């Protein structure tokens, strides 16, 4: 019998299948990849707090401006810029920065997020200690509050885990993260107590 013409044969060649073209990534996708919104909020927070504040404002500006950073932290107002006490303050915040910049690149790593929350607890504990034991100025309360807020933001993102962004969730690590968030707020309560009692002295 006769062969029916193939649709791919001359004179009626089949049209080639169109090649799908991937859409250009948006600005948000280029900056944050596939991070869900809670983790985008965390990333912006880590950049502003860990890099801009702890590195640029506290660590770099004193080197180029000749001015002390966070002068309220130094009880001897005659302390010169970059004196040993000031240098230790810069080093301390550089260590905090390392723990707060790392999760920008390892956002879906739960142990890294735990270390970040622990850093908020440690700083909150330090502020609480200074307020209670050394009667530091009342303007130490805003950073004490921020430690609790930052810890809560990270804890919320890790606990809700939008879109299953964190692939490996160890319940023990998650519980530890939540506990340290609670301890950070306990330090905040201690700071409130220390500030309130200091006003009576």
The phi, psi pair for 124, rounded to 5°, reads -60, -40
pLDDT tens digits, one per residue of 117-139: 999 999 999 999 988 887 776 67
pLDDT exceeds cutoff 60 at 2: no
Confidence of residue 161 (pLDDT cuts 50, 70, 90): very high
The closest alpha carbon to 154, from 177, 173, 171, belongs to: 177
| pLDDT for residue 70 is more than 60 | no
Mean of the pLDDT values across residues 174-194?
Answer: 96
Stated pTM of the model: 0.80
Q: Under 8 Å CB-to-CB from 126, ≥6 apart: which residues?
A: none
- pLDDT of 199 reads 60
Of residues 138, 128, 123, the one with CA closest to residue 188: 128
Q: Where are the domains of the chain?
A: 35-70+81-196
Return the percentage of the chain with pLDDT > 90, whole number.
52
Q: Which two tokens stand for residue 68?
A: 């002390």
- pLDDT of residue 179 exceeding 60, the answer is yes
Of 14-28, 70-84, 100-114, least confident by mean pLDDT is 70-84
Q: Which residue has the higher pLDDT, 32 or 64?
A: 64
DSSP string, 125-184: HHHHHHHHHH---GGGHHHHHHHHHHHHHHHHHHHH-GGG-SS---HHHHHHHHHHHHHH
pLDDT band with cut points at 50, 70 and 90 for residue 200: low
Nearest to 63 by CA among 79, 87, 99, 93: 87
pLDDT bucket at 147, cuts 50 / 70 / 90: very high
């Amino acid at each position: 019998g006769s062969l029916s013409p193939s649709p791919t044969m001359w004179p009626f060649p089949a049209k080639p299948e169109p090649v799908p073209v991937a859409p250009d990534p948006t600005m948000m996708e280029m900056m944050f990849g596939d991070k869900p919104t809670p983790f985008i909020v965390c990333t912006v927070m880590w950049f502003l707090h860990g890099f801009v504040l702890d590195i640029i404002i506290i660590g770099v500006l004193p080197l180029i401006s000749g001015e002390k950073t966070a002068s309220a932290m130094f009880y001897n107002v005659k302390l010169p810029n970059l004196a040993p006490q000031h240098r230790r303050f810069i080093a301390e915040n550089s260590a905090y920065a390392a723990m707060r910049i790392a999760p920008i690149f390892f956002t879906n790593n739960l142990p890294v997020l735990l270390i970040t929350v622990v850093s908020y607890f440690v700083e909150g504990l330090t502020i609480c200690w200074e307020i209670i034991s050394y009667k530091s100025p009342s303007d130490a309360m805003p950073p004490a509050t921020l430690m609790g807020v930052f810890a809560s933001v990270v804890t919320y993102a890790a606990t809700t885990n939008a879109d299953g962004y964190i692939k490996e969730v160890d319940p023990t690590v998650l519980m530890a993260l939540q506990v340290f968030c609670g301890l950070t707020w306990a330090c905040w309560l201690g700071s409130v107590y220390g500030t309130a009692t200091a006003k009576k002295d």
